[in-house]
Amino acid sequence: MLCAILIYHHGEKFHIRIKCNNNELPTYFEVCKKPLIHTLIQMNLDFIQKLTQIVQDNLENEHFGPEQLAEIIGKSHSTLHRRIKEHSGKSISQFIRAIRLNKAKELLLTDDHTIAEISYKVGFGSPAYFNKCFHDEFGMPPGEFKKKFKSKKTENRYYRIISLLLILLLLIFFLIPNHRFSLFANKNTVEKTIAVLPFNYLGSGKDKEYLAYVMMLEITSKLSMIENLVVLSIPAIDTDSKETDSHLAKKLGVNYLLKGDLHTEDNKMKLIVHLTNTKSGEIEWSDTYNSGLENILDVESNISRAIAQQLNAFITPDEKARIKKVPTLSSEAIDFYQLGRAAHMEYWKNNTDLESLSKAEDYYQKALNNDSTYAQAYVGLAQIAYDKTTWSDIFKNTYLDTVLSLANKALSFDNTLSDAYTLRGDYYRARFSDKAIGQYEQALHFNPNSWQAYYGLGNFFLLKNSIKSAQNILEATKRRRGPEYPIMLDNLVFIFILNGLFDEGQELINRKLSYDNDSMYYFRRLALIEEYKEHFVEATEYALNARSIDSTNLNTNSLLAFNYILLKEYKKATFYNERILQISNNINFKLNNEHHRIGYVYLVNGDTLNATKYFQRQIDASQKLIAMGNAEEALYDLAATYAILNEKDKAFENLRKVQQQNTNLWFIYFYMKNDPLLNAIRNDPGFQEILYRVKTKAETERDKLKSWAIQQELLSPLSLDS
């Protein structure tokens, strides 16, 4: 048998046809011509091969489906589904089923097992359902296929080749969408990661200096809309004048740097930009833009498209439309919005700068006074409302309502604003609602580089799914440098510690220390590691080191109070409980999971009146959190409180609910094993059975997270640096 793949081009398209024995297969597709030749194809081939291998490794597991594939590969279900649908027209289930059925066809022609046995070997739980799927896919039941083709060597070879071609086509259709990639891979292809550095302002009028900063932000935002790029957001950067681009790029973890010099005079501007390849050190592209200030939005769009073209990063029609979109026709509104954004960024660089926050709010409002339909200005006001919110209001029905209202207003004028969807995600996350997931994913649809959306998803999944949490926070760290970056690194550390991966957690916290030199966080995390290792003396020593740096940190004082309870040093525990209450009052923070421990110390000190008061506060707080959907920790706190009150039935009822959660993290097992509030029921066989089940689930979750970290090379020497 002779098969041929014919590739030819017509106009701006490549066309592909496949023929076997001069019979053209019913397959036809086309891909774009240059400049997309030499793109990401090799990287994506590796990705699809990895996907296929994962399915093959789990072929006999009938329960292996879209959720499991998405979790292992480290993407959300909707993101993976969207990519498969976009590239091939198939769902994730269809992709998995195609691999199962092609393997079944291979076994039918090479294996002596029965059809029922083969159906089980490829992951079908029902032979009848396997027969139906096989018939739908190949036009005949498996028995007829086996009878017809197994004894015919020539035709057997024909169908083997066809099977390989079908698998190849499946890979091509999944991986190489006809609107995005070229078939011709560049072996030197590298990931397209870029950082736009703050532009130098060389104008004489200081009143226009803010434009250099705002233009950098706007170009970053427009590049972030392109799915083929990984764009690093940098609110500010301190660089040594002698620092080379290659050294700076290594520190930032990018392959390209965009720099610019802005000159302004009267109402005119001149912007010189150049793009440096940090691997070679060469300037790959440079251009000069002369324009009136009224055309500043067009200049930003033109630069963004030019960079994408230079990097061979294809822009879809939708992405191009969003990049070119003019948010308002009012030049006055644009001026006020840009001033507001510059002031807002000053606040984000230093969140104690409330004067800048107030200025930003005033400028955004003035922008709306000039154009009441200016959607981005509503987003700015929504973000300010969020920045002003304190967690002490979390139980109020109106919590973050202003944020939601302003985000909705923005989307009523422009339904493609990623930041508005992110703020809606923050609103629903604060209410522990699964609606947050859809909002964050919508944000990523319109801005694939939204570090805020990734970070929001990471925090949403923190106690629900460790791998999804870590994956999303890791993606956020790839796209942001600023005051949030060390906090995101600390969250990654926290995830590992919560899951009992102490050596890995300590490795990551060592790296964080080398990045930001924050000893307080460093000692606090080491204290938590020692606590979960049941080394309570060492835990208090590390916590005291952290408190010597900042005595007002609420979490540090909580660590000390609990570890002194475990050491039965109740006088010291009382001291730190008093500090907890004082600090929470000073910062207007509403305690949710400290009341029962404060009550326990009162109880062992003989003050039953105060003990009862704090136990009831814990019950009230936990029930409110559970009603809001935040059940992961609240169920445990409620069970522990009922146990110390000797209400054993209620304690067991809530412990069983804890054990029945989708995941149990190691820290829950630690608390159940060591918490003195559970002493009254700890020897009960029912408690021991629940403890065993929680431990088993925690170990499973821990091992899955460790495998994921190895797969991501998260603990390799350069992983977090890059």
**Residues 355 and 405 both lie in one domain:** yes
Q: What is the spatial distance between Cα 479 and Cα 235, in angstroms, rounded to a whole number?
A: 12
* Sign of the Cα pseudo-torsion (604, 609, 613, 615, in order): positive
C-alpha–C-alpha distance, residues 666 and 652, integer Å: 19
Termini Cα distance of the chain: 49
Assigned domain for 135 exists: yes
**326, 344, 359 — which closes off a domain?**
326
Q: What are the angstrom distances between the C-alpha of 159 and each of 66, 109, 141, 165? A: 28, 10, 16, 9
Cα distance between residue 368 and residue 375, in whole Å? 9
Residue 262 has phi, psi (to 5 degrees) of -110, 125
Report the alpha-carbon distance of residue 279 to residue 694 in Å, rounded.
Answer: 49
**φ, ψ (nearest 5 deg) of residue 178:** -70, -10
ω into 142 cis (within 30 of 0)? no
Helices (H), 371-518: 375-388, 401-413, 418-430, 435-446, 451-460, 466-477, 484-498, 502-516
The alpha carbon torsion through 515, 520, 525, 531 (nearest 10 deg) reads: 160
The three-state DSSP-derived secondary structure of 236-255 is: CCCCCCCCCHHHHHHHHCCC
Question: Would 682 be classed as within a structural domain?
Answer: no
Residue where one domain finishes, among candidates 279, 299, 326 = 326
Which helix (H) or strand (E) segment is 346 a member of?
helix 331-349
- Assess contact for 337 and 374: CB atoms under 8 A: yes
Instruction: Please tell me the predicted confidence (pLDDT) of residue 187.
Output: 31
Residue 150 and residue 46 share a domain: yes
Round to whole Å and give the CA distance between 273 and 256: 13
What is d(CA 449, CA 191) in angstroms, rounded to the nearest whole number?
14
Query: Which tokens sit at 401?
Result: 């309502």
One domain, residues 140 and 261 = no
- Confirm whether 637 is domain-assigned: no
Q: Which residue has the tokens 């629940």?
A: 690
Alpha-carbon distance values, 234 to 114, 448, 541 (Å): 61, 16, 37
β-pair partners for 200 = 261
Domain boundary among 437, 466, 496: 437
Report the DSSP pairing between strands 268-277 and 256-265. Answer: antiparallel
For residue 380, what is the domain's CATH number?
1.25.40.10
Same domain membership, residue 171 and residue 69: yes
Q: Are residues 39 and 149 in the same domain?
A: yes
Amino acid at 712: Q
Number of domains in the chain: 3
Q: Considering the entire predicted model, what is its pTM?
A: 0.72
CATH number of the domain that residue 163 is part of: 1.10.10.60
Distance CA 695, CA 677 (A): 19
Where helices occur in 139-203 by DSSP H, the ranges are: 142-149, 153-175
Q: Are residues 37 and 68 in the same domain?
A: yes
Regions in the chain scoring below 50 on pLDDT: 1-42, 153-154, 175-190, 241, 718, 720-722
Whether residues 53 and 165 fall in one domain: yes
- 410 within some domain: yes
Token pair for 147: 């009878």
Phi, psi of 41 (to 5 degrees): -60, -40
Q: Of the candidates 663, 624, 657, which has an alpha carbon nearest to the alpha carbon of residue 639? A: 657
What DSSP designation does 199 have? P
Provide the CATH number for the domain around residue 294: 3.40.50.10070
DSSP string of 485-504, one letter each residue: HHHHHHHHHHHHHHTT-HHH
Distance from C-alpha of 513 to C-alpha of 345, rounded to nearest angstrom: 25
Is residue 46 domain-resident?
yes
* Same-domain status, 43 and 145: yes
- Establish if 616 belongs to a structural domain: no
In total, the chain counts a number of residues equal to: 722
Per-residue b/e over 196-212, b at no fewer than 16 CB within 10 Å? bbbbebebeeeebebbb
b/e sequence 537-570, b meaning 16+ C-beta within 10 Å: ebbbebbebbbeeeeebbebbbbbbbbbbbeeeb
Looking at the structure, do residues 82 and 198 belong to the same domain, yes or no?
no
Domain housing 273 = 193-326
Order of strands, sheet of 3-10, starting from the edge strand that comes earlier in the sequence: 3-10, 13-20, 23-32
In a 3-state reduction of DSSP, which class is residue 710? helix
Q: What is the token pair recorded at 388?
A: 């002003």
**Residue 344 and residue 321 share a domain:** no
Phi/psi at 348 (nearest 5 deg)?
-65, -30
Q: Which residues of 481-515 are buried (b: 16+ CB within 10 A; e: fewer)?
A: bbebbbebbbbbbbbbbbbbbbebbbebbebbbee
Question: Is the domain of 239 the same as that of 322?
Answer: yes
The reply to whether 121 falls in a domain is yes
Q: Which of 633, 461, 337 is nearest to 641 (CA)?
A: 633
CB 432 within 8 A of CB 630: yes
205, 232: one domain: yes
Residue 423 near residue 386, CB atoms below 8 Å: yes
Tell whether 445 is covered by a domain.
no
